[in-house]
Structures are given as structure tokens and as C-alpha cells.
């Protein structure tokens, strides 16, 4: 009677073919370029809100860096538990696209909120700029967090598809 030992894995993982990984890499490149386009467009839109490009670009840059860091940290922590990381990546990209379609509406809502804050409280320039900064960052935090989560998910897919070499990489 022979006994075989099976190695238990924490979850069933999906391995991806090299052609699928090449397609996903191309998509990742294109969505990265799209993210840069979003950054420029949002800076232009916020330039109208702030009345100057310095505050607008600073706000967009802060929201982008904060959101990318938050998304990367969250997906880095939980990415290894995702059973189908390429599918999760696709869903994140769809979420980013849907949010991008909603941004003009959201900017008008936030712009009206600025008017209410000004009419009700008559804050100083510094306090009003702080309100605009915080509300704009909050509005941009969701899509930038989703953008930051994409790379850790694709890294998890790449590690799972590397075959026997991936086990030596995870031991490092």
C-alpha cells in the first residue's frame, strides 16, 4: 500500500497562460496611460474650482499618491487571497471607468457644496482652500485607490503563473 502526500494550498489558485499574461500586460500599460490622462483632466477641472493650477495640481497629486498608496497597501495585504486576480483586476478597471464617467457630475455636486460652504460660513481664504482640498481629495480617493490596487493583483497573478519558480520566490 503506497501513501502519497499532498501539499495543501491555502486556496485554489488559477494559473494563467503566457498569452493571457501578455494581453493583461498590454491592458495594464494602456490603463496606466489612461490614469495619467485622468490626472491631467482632473487637474484641469479642479483648476476651474480653485481658480489656479497650482492648488489644483497639488490636490490631484496628493489624491493620486494617497490613493495609489492606499490601494497598493490594501491589495498587497489581501491580494494573495484572491482566487482569480486577473478577473479582480478587470473588475477594478471597470469600476475606475464607471467612476470616470461620473466625475463631471460629481464635480458639479462638489462645486455646489463649495457654494453652500461659502454662503453659510464665509470662511477665510485659507479655510476655504482647505475645504476645497479635502472635498476634492475625498472625491478622487476612490478611483485612485482602485488604480493602486491593480498592480498587486497582477503581481499575484504573475506569481501564480510562474510555475515551480514561484514557490522559490515566495520563500524569499
pLDDT value at position 105?
92
Q: What angle do CA 7, 10, 13 make, to 5 degrees?
A: 90
Kindly list the domain boundaries of the chain, sorted by start residue: 18-161
All three cell numbers of 74: 490594501
How far apart are alpha carbons 147 and 95 in whole angstroms? 10
In this prediction the pTM is 0.80
The stretches in the chain having pLDDT less than 50 are 2-12, 166-169, 172
Amino acid at each position: 500500500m503506497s501513501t502519497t502526500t499532498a501539499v495543501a494550498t491555502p486556496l485554489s489558485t488559477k494559473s494563467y497562460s503566457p498569452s493571457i499574461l501578455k494581453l493583461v500586460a498590454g491592458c495594464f500599460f494602456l490603463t496606466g496611460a489612461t490614469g495619467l490622462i485622468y490626472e491631467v483632466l482632473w487637474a484641469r477641472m479642479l483648476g476651474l474650482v480653485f481658480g489656479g493650477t497650482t492648488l489644483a495640481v497639488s490636490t490631484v497629486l496628493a489624491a493620486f499618491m494617497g490613493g495609489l498608496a492606499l490601494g497598493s497597501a490594501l491589495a498587497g495585504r489581501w491580494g494573495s487571497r484572491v482566487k482569480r486576480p486577473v478577473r479582480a483586476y478587470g473588475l477594478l478597471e471597470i469600476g475606475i471607468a464607471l467612476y470616470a464617467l461620473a466625475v463631471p457630475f460629481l464635480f458639479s455636486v462638489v462645486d455646489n457644496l463649495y457654494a453652500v460652504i461659502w454662503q453659510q460660513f464665509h470662511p477665510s481664504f485659507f479655510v476655504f482652500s482647505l475645504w476645497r482640498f479635502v472635498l476634492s481629495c475625498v472625491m478622487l480617493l476612490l478611483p485612485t485607490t482602485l488604480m493602486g490596487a491593480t498592480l498587486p493583483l497582477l503581481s499575484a497573478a504573475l506569481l501564480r503563473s510562474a510555475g515551480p519558480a514561484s514557490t522559490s520566490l515566495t520563500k524569499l
